[in-house]
Structure 1
Amino acid sequence: MKKRLDQQGFTLIELLAALVLFTIFGSVIWGLFFQSLKYNDAEVSKNQLQQETNLILSTIQQMHTSSTITSIESTGSTLLIISDKGEFPFNKDNVLYQINEPINLPNKEFHLVLTLSSTENSSIQLETETTFSKLK
C-alpha cells in the first residue's frame, strides 16, 4: 500500500485546542452578558425610584402651593399625603417609602427627608432631602 503524504485536515490536537479556546471565549462572553443584565436591572430600579421621587416631590409642591397639606405619613409600601382637598396615596409593589418623621402641618415651611427603597434589591435606595416653602 502506498501512503499519501499530502493529506489535508485537522489533527486531534488542533481540534481539542480549538474546542478549549472556544469554551474559554464562550464562558467569558456568557459571564459578561449576565453581569451586564444584572447591572441593567439595578440601573432600571434606580431610574424607577428617581422617577417616583420626582413625581412625589412635584405633587407635594403643587399641593403645598395650591392647598393646605395637613399631614404626610408613610407606612412601608404606602406614602399618604393628606390635604384639605383629599388624600393622595402613593403605593407601588416594588417600592418602600420612608420619611424622617410624620409631618403634621399646616406650616408655611417644612423639611422633608424621603427615602425610597427597592423591594427587589435592598441595596438600591434613593434618599432625597428638601424643604418646601410657601410665600403667602
Structure 2
Amino acid sequence: MKNQKGLTLVELLAAITILLLISSVIYGVLINSNKNYKSLTEKINLNQEANLLLTTIRNYHQKQSLHSFDSNNNEIYKLKYDPTTKKAYIGTSSATIPLQKDNVFIIIKIDDIEISGEQTIYPDDPLYIYIKLYNQQGQSYEIETVIKQY
C-alpha cells in the first residue's frame, strides 16, 4: 500500500476552503468596484447637467437675441423656480423652457436669496447665482458663480 495515489479527504476540504476564501474576496472587490462605478457615474451626470444648466443661463444672460423688453424698454428674460417640484425654467417673455432633466432636482439662489416663482432678470446687471443639483440617490453638486454680459 505504499504506492497509493490520490487526495485524502482533509486535503480536499483544505483546497475547497482556500478556493472559497479566494473567490469571496474577488466577489467583494467586484461588488465594491461596481458600486463605486455607479456612484461616480451619477456624480459625473450631475456635473454635466450643472454645466449644461449654467451654459443655458449664460446664453440667455449674454445674448441679446434671447432677450425681450419690459415696459421701460429694458432688456429682460425670465427665470422661474418652483420650490415644490424643485424644477427651474427659463424664457424670454415667460419662463417655460425646462432647465434640467426629470430625475434631477435643483435649488437656485440669486444674490443669496432662493427664488420662488418667476423672476425677471436684467442682463445688464451681473447675475450672482448659486445652483445645487441633486438626484434621487442623494448625491449633490453645487456651483456658485457670477455671470456678466460683456
TM-score interval, smaller chain:
0.7 to 0.9
1:81 matched residue in structure 2: 90
Q: How far did residue 85 of structure 1 move?
A: 7.8
Q: Distance in 1 between matches of 2:21 and 2:53?
A: 48
Q: Sequence identity of aligned pairs in percent?
A: 28
Q: Is the 8 A contact 2:79 2:88 kept in 1?
A: no
Q: Please list every run of 5 or more consecutive structure 2 residues that lacks an aligned counterpart in the other structure.
A: 68-75
Displacement of 1:77 in angstroms is 4.3
Retained in 2: the 8 A contact 1:118–1:125? Answer: yes
Q: Which residue of 2 aligns with 1:17?
A: 14
The aligned residue for residue 107 of structure 2 is: 98
For 2:82 and 2:37, locate their aligned partners in 1 and report how far apart those are by CA, in whole Å: 29
Structure 1 position 74, deviation (Å) = 4.2
The alpha-carbon distance between structure 1 residues 91 and 60, as it changes in their structure 2 partners (threshold 3 A), is closer
**Unmatched 5+ stretches in structure 1:** none
* 1:77-135: CA deviation from partner (whole Å, max 9, x where unpaired): 4221132386321342321111121154224211110000111x21x110000111113
Equivalent residue, structure 1, for 2:30: 33
Q: 1:57 to 1:109 in 2, by over 3 A?
A: same
CA RMSD of aligned residues (A): 1.8
Q: Figure out how many residues of one structure are paired with residues of the other and give that number.
A: 130
Length-normalised TM-score, structure 1: 0.85
CA contact (8 A) 2:90 2:96 kept: yes
TM, length-normalised to structure 2: 0.78
1-side partners of 2:92 and 2:122: how far apart? 9
Q: Does 1:133 align with 2:133?
A: no
Distance 2:49 2:57 in 1: 12
